[in-house]
Amino acid sequence: MVAVAGFAQKATNNPFFRFATKAEAQMLITDIDEYTNGWNQFDICSRLQNKEGRKSQLLTLAMSSVQNWSDTEKKKVTNAFNAIVASIKKQKLALSFPDEIILIKTSMQEEGGASAYTRKNWIAIGENVLNNTQDAQMQLLLAHELFHILTRHDLNFKKSVYQTIGFTVMDHEILFPTDILEKRISNPDISRYDSYAPLTVNGKTQNYTMMIYTDRPYEDGDFFDYIKIGLIPLNEQFIPIQENGETIIIPIEQAEDLYEKIGKNTDYVINPEEVLADNFAFMIVEKKDLPSPEVVNRMKEVLKK
């Protein structure tokens, strides 16, 4: 068991982490939770790269993707964690972590070859990233994933940081009609669909929520090839607006003022959660020469002790 501080403290500024054994990781990755329960047919088929895919097959694939940690890999991740903790202390950031953070290693076959992702209080890191990433990149990656752990663990943290880019986080999730649930591409890092922002489209400003979706059933190829990013307009009760029985989805490019809110520090504009995770990582590593330093500065301001 490797820990930053050597002991666990509840809701501490010092994230206590440990590396899961292969057996424990297999249990975690096949857990039927909010994420696996939310899979639609596209999620399953695209990850299996099989248009006849079944949920049980994807869970089996996930289980077989899990690997054991080597000592070298543990050292690399521990060094990155220690650097992140040192930066949190140096910048006097007030962060509330869960009691422990569990790290698992996988081939990433189960998530379309992603670098890393999170569920609950655990972070999965891909074998390829562990073998080919320099220390500075590993810090960025881990800081990005830690952001997802924090927003899942602490709703007040989530509300505060989302507000820095003009998004409001509600106490309840947005209820999407069936047509959206069938098109939505699940992202394990987004555990709640609960945010919106006033955006201007064709000169008219109204509240929109951001959605990763596909506009066609899975046939073959990489699921990243199917990704589209859309904005769904919400009515005054924050319910998605429909037209002729179909939920309206507007291409993200049509929002005239989105980048005024979120800045231009990252191209990973698929959801406010990912935009903020990148900016959080830039804040942690104190990245210089950002095109929109004010985004990071606003975040730092709300997280100061």
The Cα–Cα gap between 243 and 176 comes to 14
Residue 5 lies in a domain: no
Amino acid at residue number 249 = I
Strands 101-106 and 122-126: parallel
At 15 the pLDDT is: 80
Residues 188, 290 within the same domain: yes
Residues 192, 263 within the same domain: yes
Mean pLDDT over residues 184-207, rounded? Answer: 98
Residue 3 lies in a domain: no
pLDDT tens, position by position, 14-39: 789 999 999 999 999 999 999 999 99
Residues 231, 110 within the same domain: no
Instruction: List beta partners, residue 204.
Output: 201
Q: Which has the closest alpha carbon to 191: 213, 223, 158?
A: 158
Q: Which residues contact 11 (CB under 8 A, 6 or more apart)?
A: 96, 97, 98, 99
Binned at pLDDT 50, 70 and 90, residue 304 comes out as: very high
At 216 the pLDDT is: 96
Mean pLDDT over residues 220-225, rounded? Answer: 90
Binned at pLDDT 50, 70 and 90, residue 127 comes out as: very high
User: How confident is the prediction for the chain on average, in pLDDT?
Assistant: 95
The Cα–Cα gap between 187 and 125 comes to 15
Residue 1 lies in a domain: no
The Cα–Cα gap between 36 and 48 comes to 14
Residues 197, 132 within the same domain: no
Last residue of a domain, one of 153, 168, 191: 153
Residue 6 above 80 pLDDT?
A: no
In the chain, the number of structural domains is: 2
At 12 the pLDDT is: 53
Residues 267, 216 within the same domain: yes
Q: Cβ(264)–Cβ(292) under 8 Å? A: yes
At 172 the pLDDT is: 97
Binned at pLDDT 50, 70 and 90, residue 224 comes out as: confident
The Cα–Cα gap between 183 and 271 comes to 16
Residues 197, 256 within the same domain: yes
Residues 128, 144 within the same domain: yes
Write out the residue range of the structural domain in which residue 204 sits: 159-303
Residue 254 above 60 pLDDT?
A: yes
Which residue, chain included where needed, has tokens 């000169």? 203
At 4 the pLDDT is: 33
Mean pLDDT over residues 209-237, rounded? Answer: 96
Last residue of a domain, one of 123, 153, 183: 153
Residue 67 lies in a domain: yes
Structure token digits, residue 241:
């607006």
Instruction: List beta partners, residue 230.
Output: 211, 251
At 1 the pLDDT is: 34
Of 4 and 109, more confident: 109
Residues 123, 51 within the same domain: yes
Residues 31, 88 within the same domain: yes
Last residue of a domain, one of 153, 173, 205: 153
Provide the b/e sequence for 76-105 (b: ≥16 CB within 10 Å): bbbebbebbbebbeeeebebebbeebbbbb
Q: What angle do CA 266, 143, 19 make, to 5 degrees?
A: 140
Residue 180 lies in a domain: yes
